[in-house]
């Protein structure tokens, strides 16, 4: 049976599509955006997240750890790195930590399990026109599971949205299109150099898929993170707006202001470097950006 | 607001509340002269007339709606016939830091000289206390329940539309007809009825005279008024006061003033709980509003100004303060008058209208403490109405609260009311349903559920005082099952509930005979027709409530006890087979479920193990250790899992597993040590180890996988063999390679597992395993081989007794002491998280209930890890977790089964209400630490809300959990949800919020109210995350739990919330 690796099934998710939704975060992403606010979804493997501030030094993790060296108990950064290197991510320390200071990021679900779980809020989906959103990570990276999950949800009468970076083979989109009501399509930059530099991959495939989806699915919400110094230049924004306005399938544009929430999460995952720091865009700048898109005739809002 | 109402509002807010002795003195004078001259009802009515004729009346500058209960705004009269404040009470009221009332020396003097000397020993409070049993007093003092009527009179009532259609003169005619119809020939109660009806008539005269005095005052002021505009207003006021409430009102102004006189009369006659409320004000006012607009005598603006004046009148009336010890604690100024907006009309159509929106605007603009407000939301209510209300709620005043009008109707139908009366009903001061103007529904007191459980855990003794308060239902160590624990709780619950009901019968009778409420009776159908007082069962419908407090705390406490001590992941028992509902009370009842589940020895799993051991099943081998693929049908209940081999995972199955080193790799002794240590490490964590043997090129182990988690339906999910083997193989490979400084594979990818189907099978395999090194000729017959566990000698012993502890119970082998010593994590005391004898993880935590209770009695001192585990790792109500929510329904159903429908003292029935007001704080202060990890003295959960900070799956999960109780069997439930302003700031956020409410009501939820949290709350959450783990904030484009964010981000959100302000 197909299993998907999922970091979180979030209920009353109100920023990921229409109505009240349950968002399923699939783990693993081929991109590595410098501003990623869900860095725990990048790696395709289970990870251990440690919230050191909650530690009460009870030592139960040390007992439970087969190495007797649980990540996060060492005081020095060097000890931390070493513990990470030896860590099996077996989850034993997570099970015993009484303080909720440790979390396993990534749990396997079968499709029926997932369907049972997301169906629990059906009454709210029905009241609000909501449903299920598959997000991530890049959900198309776990394609078999995504396809089976989306099909099962649809069959169960649930509205299905897929939040994608667009970085996936065309065939996958082709197979997915009949089973998805709405695509939330992330677009970072039209400049391939910028895209490669900050996201780690070229945007060619992403743009091609976007054009194809626009023509062949027709219900897309474009989601553009606004990252100062990366894509908030007026010319860049205008180019994005012009590009988006030329796509018939794009029904709405959401400008997602950069936020530093990812940095704290990276730390808890044991990332050594803090990564690049960006500014949070000002309200005025966001308003101006929105105006650019509205002027291009696009229904635009700030935030998801 | 207009300039006038802005000023009046400011005055109302700025005027300090004061106590006036006027009513007390006038009443005392009346009783000194007249006590004993007439029947009780007539005496009460005449005392009321006496007050209405004499009390100081007030007409403020610029007021349009007039009349005060005290001599001036914010001046509060007292009710010594109910409760007489002592001098000390009054001084405390004057000086306490919060919700103080100014008391001047003159007032104190009156009390000292006149009021106290007369009323000492005569007050209702003293008479009630004198009649109640010592057991009642003991329970009351221990904080098991409170008693409403020791402070105030029965009330909690709401007016219908009658005063807008008829005047008091009309009611007087009804009274006269009823008097004329009395049958002194046949009716033994004829005299009682005559006295009651006489009292009703006198009270009408009192109120009409009171209105006339106001009319006279207005004319007097008009005569002296120079300003022509104000003069005209005063003349209009005089005209209004001459008209109403004697006659039915003709216009909007008269309608409001008519209600206000009735309101003042009810709250002057007696100090009933929750003052008095106008009910469906929007529906009642609509005809006057429309008529006024049509004939040009009213505009939206003038209507609005009149309503604003009307609102200010409510705010001018702080609740009369209580007496006794509670006076030292802060209370509240609010008197719980409550407006119902929207709802349904008599014919079942939508009741919201233009006046509803007008009122919402005023609630928003004035945001006064009083009157409180709620919307009655039906399926038929338009979204625009809901959205308007949510916009107001989003401002963070905490009101209006939101009721499910359809549920409110159904609850009342269940109580036996007619459909029309139910629709015309709604909710009064708090959340209880009532047929407005036709029902006496009396709240009798709060009931402390967690305290009752505390007594059940202490054999009926209150650990705070050491007193035996309840029946002896068993010491903690005597409970063999969780059902026995619950049965003990239920026995205690029944005992104290009965005690409370016995007290209620005395109190209700005292009120019926000694303290009638004549004017309230005039306003309540069918008191006139029946010739009976409101307090004596004269109303068309009578219901009596007990309000249960601490549902969330008790649910989580029971859940923790069940999880840690009986059936949890760490328990040695199997899961409950069925969950039919709460077990019944008789303490010694043996639950048939448990009889089967108990099995043979301590922690036996006969029921589940049956499938494993008892082998009526065919002994067909699923897999042989040699043959890789023998395809068979999966056993019933088996889970198919995809790995290298087909595998069947059956609950509580025991497996023999073999895996081999890669070809040619020989494990050095050090490597074998690593492997054996690792296998032993997981024993008691992820599986129970029956036997293991590490050979130079392969490994055998016999294990029984433990419960990893529960699925969404609460069913156990076992550790998969995949996960278990992955952990062992990858860990040991890593260590072996590291030791030898080499790379590459150590283990073959595949493993072989065989499901052991019978005792004999298991015995044979253990035997085989333990002899393997010798049989294989690795070691000489008399040489030791250290990497076998347990030793052959032990295996022989086990074999010798057919039902040895290890084999038959599947329990941990009785390892020799030196083995136990090498198992990491053994001998961790309670302090390290409550693992008494075995290491953490899957099997460990079986903590005995006695030890658990001992830890609570120490308030978890030195057991912080245990407390944290209780907070973080046990199933909690409010997360849509079936394990926890099932217990919530047990508790609720127990309340309903034990209370609902029992006869009260007024010919009515008892009903269940889940309402805390602020009593969860007091109840918490008298309740020790609870098994959910709550420390002694901390507040309990309120209403049906989850424990503060326990819900971590978002608002839909809270609402799903709350909807699992059958709200329609209650007379009201209260659910609080917290939102941050940013979540509901946008149009879309508002819409989704509305859908959340509609979804809850679709599941028959009764009521929900929203706390929009402010920056201070967020600051508290940062300091004390434990109690605020449920707070969701919008970060940017997404939302997250506040307590999960980094400190910097938390600070930023606090700043932003502060900035957004209200």
DSSP string, B692-726: EEE-SSEEEEEEEE-EEEE-TTS-EEEPPHHHHHH
- pTM across the whole model: 0.87
Say how many C-beta atoms besides its own lie within 10 A of residue B384's C-beta.
10
| Chain B residues within an 8 Å CB radius of A263 | 1046
* Half-sphere exposure (Cβ direction) of B910: Cα atoms closer than 13 Å: 24
Q: Is the pLDDT of residue B964 over 50?
A: yes
Put simply, the chain B residues between 716 and 755 with a CB less than 8 A from any chain A CB are: 727, 730-731, 734
Reported as type and span, the H/E element at residue B55 is: none
Interface of B with A in 566-625 (CB under 8 A): none
Structure tokens at B55: 């009390």
Start-end of H helices in B874-910: 882-899
What's the pLDDT score for residue A291?
Answer: 95
Residue of A nearest to B680 (CA): A66
Mean pLDDT score, A215-240: 93
Residue B620 DSSP class: -
Number of A–B residue contacts, CB under 8 Å: 161
Q: Higher model confidence: residue B155 or residue B974?
A: B974
How close does chain A come to B1005, measured CA to CA in Å?
13
Higher pLDDT, B527 or A302: B527
Contact A220, A214 (CB under 8 A): yes
| Backbone angle region of A202, left / alpha / beta, with phi > 0 → left and psi within -120 to 50 → alpha | beta
- CA–CA separation, B437 vs B426, rounded Å? 11
Domain ranges of chain A: 3-43+110-302, 47-105
* Mean pLDDT (whole number) for B680-695: 90
Report the chain B residue with the minimal C-alpha distance to residue A65: B681
Does residue B377 belong to the interface with chain A, where contact is any CB pair within 8 Å?
Answer: no
> Residue written as tokens 């009171």?
B210
| A119 touching chain B per CB within 8 A | no
The answer to whether the beta carbons of residues B944 and B578 sit under 8 Å apart is no
Q: Chain B residue with minimal CA distance to A60?
A: B832
Q: How confident is the model at residue B279 (pLDDT cuts 50, 70, 90)?
A: very high
Q: What is the dihedral of CA B993, B997, B1002, B1003, to 10 degrees?
A: 110
Is B825–A130 a contact, with Cβ atoms under 8 angstroms apart?
no
Is B983–A11 a contact, with Cβ atoms under 8 angstroms apart? no
The larger pLDDT score, comparing residue A42 to residue B332, is at: A42
Predicted confidence band at B38 (pLDDT cuts at 50, 70, 90)?
A: very high
CB B454: neighbour CB atoms within 10 A?
31
User: Does B712 lie at the interface with A, CB-CB under 8 angstroms?
Assistant: yes
Q: Quick check: A16 and B1039 in contact, CB under 8 A? A: no
Contacts of B379 in chain A (CB under 8 A): none
Cβ of residue A20 closer than 8 Å to a chain B Cβ: yes
Say how far apart CA A17 and CA A6 lie, in whole Å: 19
The conformation of residue B114, written as its DSSP 8-state character, comes to I
Residue A274 contacts B where some CB pair is shorter than 8 Å: no
Joined together, the tokens standing for residue B280 give: 């469906």
User: pLDDT confidence of B839, banded at 50, 70, 90?
Assistant: very low
CB B77 within 8 A of CB B20: yes
Q: What is the DSSP letter of B185?
A: T
| pLDDT tier, B795 (very low <50, low <70, confident <90, very high otherwise) | very low
Confidence of residue B5 (pLDDT cuts 50, 70, 90): very high
Higher per-residue pLDDT: B1055 or B230: B230
Q: Span B235-260, mean pLDDT?
A: 98
Using H for helix, E for strand and C for coil, what is the string for chain A?
A: CCEEEEEEEEEEECCCCCCCEEEEEECCCCCCCCCCCCHHHCCCCCEEEECHHHCCCCCHHHHHCCCCCCCCCCCCHHHHHHHHHHCCCCCHHHHHCCCCCEEEECEEEEHHHHHHHHHHHHHHHHHHCCEEEEEECCHHHHHHHHHHHHHHHHHCCCEEEEEECCCCCHHHHHHHHHHCCEEEEECCCCCHHHHHHHHCCCCHHHHHHHHHHHHHCCCEEEEEEECCCCCCCHHHHHHHHHHHHCCCCEEEEEEEECCCHHHHHHHHHCCCCCCCCCCCCCHHHHHHHHHHHHHCCCCEEECC
pLDDT of residue A83: 75
State the helix-helix crossing angle for A283-295 and A234-245, rounded to 10 degrees: 40
pLDDT of residue B877: 97
What residue of A is the nearest CA neighbor of B845?
A: A96
Q: Across the interface, do B840 and A63 touch by the CB < 8 Å criterion?
A: yes
B435 CA: distance to closest CA in chain A (Å): 30
* Rounded distance between C-alpha atoms, residue A207 and residue A215, angstroms: 12
What are the distances in angstroms from CA A184 to CA B863, B928, B1036?
48, 51, 17
Q: Does the distance separating the beta carbons of B1002 and A123 come in below 8 Å?
A: yes
Both tokens of B492, joined, read 């205690």
pLDDT at B334 over 70: yes
DSSP B719-730: PPHHHHHHHHHH
| Topology adopted by domain A3-43+110-302 | TIM Barrel (3.20.20)
> Average pLDDT over chain B, rounded to whole?
85
The residue whose two tokens read 């396993």 is: A104
User: What tokens appear for B298 in the block?
Assistant: 């009213």
For B685, the closest of A56, A92, A256 (CB atoms) is A92
Q: What is the pLDDT of residue B576?
A: 39
Residues of B identified as active-site: 430, 432
How large a percentage of chain A has pLDDT more than 70? Answer: 95
Residue appearing with tokens 């005095």:
B213
Element (H, E) at B171: helix B168-180
Q: Do strands A131-136 and A107-110 pair parallel, antiparallel, or not at all (unpaired)?
A: unpaired
How many CB atoms sit inside 10 A of residue B446's CB?
26
* Residues facing residue B344 across a β-bridge: B350
Q: In A, which residues are within 8 Å of B955 by CB distance?
A: 12
Q: Is A66 on the interface with B (CB under 8 A)?
A: yes
- Residue A77 pLDDT > 90: no
Q: Tell me which residue has tokens 């100081």.
A: B56
Identify the residue among A57, A103, A127 best suited for mutation to test binding to B, counting B beta carbons within 10 A and taking the highest: A127
Which chain A residues touch B1044 with a CB distance below 8 Å?
51
Q: How confident is the model at residue B1014 (pLDDT cuts 50, 70, 90)?
A: confident
Q: Tell me the C-alpha distance between B427 and B409, whole Å.
A: 10
Q: Do B988 and A14 touch (CB under 8 A)?
A: yes
User: Confidence band (pLDDT; 50, 70, 90) for B649?
Assistant: low
pLDDT digits (tens, 9 = 90+) for A122-134: 999 999 999 999 9
CA B484 to the chain's CA centroid? 24
Residues B441 and B543: their CA atoms lie apart, in Å, by 5
B277: preceding bond cis by omega (within 30 degrees): no
**Chain B interface includes A122 (CB < 8 A):** no
SS3 B370: coil
Question: CB–CB of B841 and A96 under 8 A?
Answer: yes
Cβ contacts of A74 within 8 Å, gap of 6 or more: A80, A82, A83
For the stretch A271-294, pLDDT in tens is: 655 566 788 898 899 999 999 999
Average of pLDDT values for A155-173?
97
Interface membership of B713 toward A (CB under 8 Å): yes
Residue B1039 has pLDDT above 90, yes or no: no
**What tens digit of pLDDT does each residue of B71-100 get?**
999 999 999 999 999 999 999 999 887 788
pLDDT over 70 (residue B800): no
The predicted pLDDT at position A54 comes to 84
Residues of B in contact with A261 (CB under 8 A): 1035-1036, 1040, 1045-1046, 1049
> Residue B739 and residue B746: Cα distance in Å, rounded?
12
The minimal CB distance from B1049 to the residues A92, A130, A260 is found for A260
Q: Quickly count: other Cβ atoms within 10 Å of residue B513's Cβ.
A: 14
- Residue B1040 is encoded by which pair of tokens? 């997250």
What b/e sequence results for B200-230 when a residue is b if at least 16 CB atoms lie within 10 Å of its CB, and e otherwise?
bbbbbbbbbebbebbbebbbebbeebeeeee
When scoring B569, B718, B1038, B1042 by the number of chain A Cβ atoms within 10 A, the one with the most, hence best to mutate, is B1038
Q: Is B430 helix (H, G, I), strand (E, B) or coil?
A: coil
- What is the helix (H) or strand (E) element at residue B293, kind and residue range? helix B281-295
CA–CA distance, B168 with A178 (Å, rounded to integer):
71
Whether residues A63 and B839 touch (CB distance < 8 A) is answered with yes
pLDDT recorded at residue A73: 66
Q: Which single residue is written with the structure tokens 């988690």?
A: B709
Strand partners, A184: A163, A221
Report the pLDDT value the prediction gives residue B572, as an integer from 0 to 100. Answer: 40
**Chain A CA closest to residue B737:** A86
| Strand A250-257 with A220-226, pairing | parallel
Could you say which residues from 676 to 695 on chain B have a Cβ atom under 8 Å away from some Cβ of chain A?
A: 678, 681-682, 685-686
Tally of CB atoms within 10 A around B578: 9
Interchain CB contact of A124 with B (< 8 Å): yes
Cα separation, B683 vs B689, whole angstroms: 5
A264 and B CB contact within 8 Å: yes
Inter-chain touch B1037–A259, beta carbons under 8 Å: yes
Contacts with A86 from chain B: Cβ below 8 Å = 734
| Helix H or strand E segment including B856 | helix B849-857
Q: Residue B184, Cβ neighbours under 10 Å: how many? A: 10
Measured in angstroms, the CA of A169 and the nearest CA of chain B are apart by 27
* B885-919 confidence digits (pLDDT tens): 999 999 999 999 999 999 999 999 999 999 887 78
CB spacing of B711 vs A116 below 8 angstroms: yes
């Amino acid at each position: 049976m197909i299993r998907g690796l999922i970091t979180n099934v979030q209920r009353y998710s109100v920023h990921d599509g229409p109505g009240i939704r349950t968002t399923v975060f699939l783990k693993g992403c081929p991109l590595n955006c410098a501003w990623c606010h869900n860095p725990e979804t990048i790696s395709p493997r289970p990870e251990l997240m440690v919230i050191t501030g909650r530690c009460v030094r009870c030592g139960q993790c040390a007992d439970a750890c087969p190495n007797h060296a649980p990540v996060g108990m060492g005081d020095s950064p060097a000890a931390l790195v070493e513990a990470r290197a030896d860590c099996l991510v077996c989850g034993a320390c997570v099970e015993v930590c009484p303080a909720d200071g440790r979390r396993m990021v990534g749990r396997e679900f079968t499709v029926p399990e997932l369907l049972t779980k997301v169906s629990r809020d059906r009454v709210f989906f029905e009241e609000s026109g909501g449903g299920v959103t598959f997000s991530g990570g890049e959900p198309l990276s776990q394609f078999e599971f995504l396809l089976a999950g989306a099909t099962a949800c649809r069959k169960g009468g649930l509205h299905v949205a897929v939040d994608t970076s667009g970085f996936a083979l065309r065939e996958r989109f082709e197979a997915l299109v009949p089973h998805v009501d709405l695509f939330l399509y992330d677009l970072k930059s039209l400049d391939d150099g910028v895209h490669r530099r900050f996201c780690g991959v070229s945007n060619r495939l992403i743009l091609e898929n976007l054009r194809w989806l626009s023509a062949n699915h027709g219900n897309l919400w474009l989601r553009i993170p606004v990252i100062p110094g990366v894509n908030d230049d007026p010319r860049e924004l205008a180019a994005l707006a012009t590009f988006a306005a030329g796509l018939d399938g794009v029904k709405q544009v959401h400008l997602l202001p950069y936020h530093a929430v990812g940095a704290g999460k990276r730390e808890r995952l044991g990332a050594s470097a803090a990564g690049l720091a960006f500014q949070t865009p000002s309200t005025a700048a966001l308003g101006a950006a929105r105006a650019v898109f509205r002027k291009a005739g696009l229904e635009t809002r700030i935030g998801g | 607001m207009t300039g006038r109402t802005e000023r009046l509002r400011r005055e109302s807010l700025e005027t300090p509340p004061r106590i006036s002795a006027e009513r007390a003195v006038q009443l005392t004078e009346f009783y000194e002269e007249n006590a004993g001259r007439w029947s009780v009802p007539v005496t009460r009515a005449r005392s009321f007339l006496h007050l209405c004729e004499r009390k100081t009346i007030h007409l403020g500058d610029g007021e349009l709606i007039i009349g005060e209960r005290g001599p001036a705004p914010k001046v509060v009269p007292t009710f010594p016939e109910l409760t007489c404040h002592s001098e000390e009470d009054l001084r405390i009221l004057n000086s306490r830091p919060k919700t103080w009332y100014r008391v001047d020396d003159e007032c104190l003097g009156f009390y000292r000289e006149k009021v106290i000397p007369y009323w000492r020993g005569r007050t209702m409070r003293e008479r009630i206390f004198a009649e109640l049993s010592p057991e009642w007093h003991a329970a009351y003092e221990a904080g098991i329940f409170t008693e409403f009527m020791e402070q105030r009179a029965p009330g909690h009532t709401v007016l219908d539309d009658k005063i807008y259609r008829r005047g008091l003169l009309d009611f007087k005619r009804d009274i006269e007809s009823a008097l004329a119809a009395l049958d002194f020939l046949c009716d033994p109660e004829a005299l009682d009825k005559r006295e009651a009806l006489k009292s009703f008539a006198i009270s009408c005269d009192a109120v009409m005279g009171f209105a006339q005095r106001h009319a006279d005052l207005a004319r007097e002021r008009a005569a002296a008024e120079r300003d022509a505009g104000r003069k005209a207003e005063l003349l209009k006021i005089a005209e209004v006061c001459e008209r109403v409430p004697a006659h039915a009102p003709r216009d909007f102004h008269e309608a409001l003033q008519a209600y206000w006189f009735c309101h003042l009369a009810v709250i002057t006659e007696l100090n009933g709980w929750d003052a008095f409320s106008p009910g469906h004000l929007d529906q009642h006012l609509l005809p006057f509003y429309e008529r006024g607009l049509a004939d040009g005598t009213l505009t939206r603006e003038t209507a609005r100004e009149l309503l604003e004046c009307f609102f200010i009148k409510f705010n001018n009336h702080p609740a009369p303060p209580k007496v006794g010890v509670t006076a030292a604690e802060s209370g509240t100024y609010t008197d719980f008058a409550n407006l119902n907006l929207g709802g349904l009309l008599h014919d079942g159509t939508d009741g919201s209208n233009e006046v509803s929106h007008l009122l919402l605007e005023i609630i928003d603009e004035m945001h006064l403490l009083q009157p409180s407000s709620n919307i009655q939301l039906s399926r038929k209510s338009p979204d625009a109405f809901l959205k308007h209300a949510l916009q107001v709620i989003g401002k963070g005043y905490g009101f209006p609260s939101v009721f499910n009008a359809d549920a409110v109707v159904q609850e009342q139908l269940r109580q036996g009311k007619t459909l029309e009366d139910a629709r015309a009903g709604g909710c009064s001061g708090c959340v209880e349903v009532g047929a407005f103007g036709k029902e006496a529904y009396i709240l009798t007191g709060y009931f402390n559920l967690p305290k009752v459980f505390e007594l059940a855990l202490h054999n009926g003794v209150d650990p705070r005082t050491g007193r035996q308060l309840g029946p002896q239902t068993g010491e903690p160590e005597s409970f063999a099952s969780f059902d026995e624990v619950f049965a003990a709780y239920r026995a205690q619950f029944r005992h104290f509930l009965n005690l409370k009901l016995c007290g209620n019968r005395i109190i209700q009778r005292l009120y019926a005979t000694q303290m009638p409420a004549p004017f309230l009776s005039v306003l309540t159908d069918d008191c006139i027709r029946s010739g009976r007082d409101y307090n004596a069962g004269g109303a068309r419908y009578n219901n009596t409530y007990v309000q249960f407090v601490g549902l969330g705390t008790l649910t989580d406490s029971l859940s923790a006890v069940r999880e840690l001590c009986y059936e949890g992941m760490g328990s040695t028992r199997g899961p409950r087979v069925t969950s039919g509902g709460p077990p019944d009370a008789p303490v010694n009842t043996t639950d048939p479920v448990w009889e089967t589940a108990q099995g043979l020895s301590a922690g036996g799993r006969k029921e589940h193990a049956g499938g494993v051991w008892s082998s009526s099943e065919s002994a067909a081998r699923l897999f042989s250790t040699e043959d890789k693929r023998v395809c068979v049908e999966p056993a019933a209940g088996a889970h198919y899992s995809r790995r290298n081999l087909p595998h069947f995972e059956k609950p509580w199955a025991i497996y023999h597993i073999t895996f081999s080193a890669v070809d040619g790799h020989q494990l050095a002794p050090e490597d074998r040590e690593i492997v054996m240590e690792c296998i032993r490490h997981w024993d008691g964590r992820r599986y129970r180890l029956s036997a293991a043997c590490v050979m130079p090129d392969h490994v055998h182990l016999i294990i029984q996988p433990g419960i990893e988690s529960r699925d969404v339906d609460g069913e156990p999910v076992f550790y998969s063999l995949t996960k278990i083997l992955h952990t062992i193989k990858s860990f040991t490979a890593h260590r072996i390679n590291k030791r030898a400084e080499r790379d590459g594979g150590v283990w073959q990818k595949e493993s072989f597992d065989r499901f052991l189907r019978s005792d004999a099978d298991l015995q044979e395999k253990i035997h085989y395993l333990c002899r393997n090194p010798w049989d294989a000729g690795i070691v000489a017959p008399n040489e030791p081989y250290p990497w076998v566990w347990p030793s052959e000698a032990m295996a022989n012993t086990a074999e010798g007794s057919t039902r040895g502890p290890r084999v038959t119970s599947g329990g941990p082998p009785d390892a020799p002491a030196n083995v136990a010593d090498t198992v990491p994590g053994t001998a961790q005391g309670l302090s390290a998280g409550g693992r008494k004898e075995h290491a953490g993880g899957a099997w460990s935590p079986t903590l005995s209930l006695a030890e658990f209770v001992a830890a609570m009695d120490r308030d978890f001192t030195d057991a912080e890890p245990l407390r944290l585990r209780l907070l973080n790792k046990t199933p909690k109500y409010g997360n849509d977790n079936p394990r926890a929510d099932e217990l919530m329904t047990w508790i609720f159903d127990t309340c309903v089964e034990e209370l609902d429908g029992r006869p009260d003292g007024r010919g009515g029935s008892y009903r269940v209400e889940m309402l805390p007001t602020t009593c969860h704080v007091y109840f918490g202060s008298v309740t020790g630490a609870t098994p959910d990890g709550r420390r002694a003295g901390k507040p309990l959960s309120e209403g049906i809300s989850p424990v503060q900070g326990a819900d971590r799956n978002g608002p839909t999960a809270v609402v799903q959990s709350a909807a699992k109780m059958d709200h329609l069997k209650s007379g009201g439930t209260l659910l609080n949800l917290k939102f941050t302003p940013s979540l509901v700031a946008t149009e879309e956020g508002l819409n989704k919020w509305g859908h959340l409410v509609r979804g809850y009501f679709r599941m028959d939820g009764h009521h929900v109210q929203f706390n929009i949290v402010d920056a201070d709350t967020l600051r508290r959450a940062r300091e004390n995350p434990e109690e605020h783990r449920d707070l969701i904030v919008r970060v940017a484009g997404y939302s997250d739990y506040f307590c999960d964010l980094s400190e910097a981000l938390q600070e930023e959100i606090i700043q932003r919330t502060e900035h957004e302000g209200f």
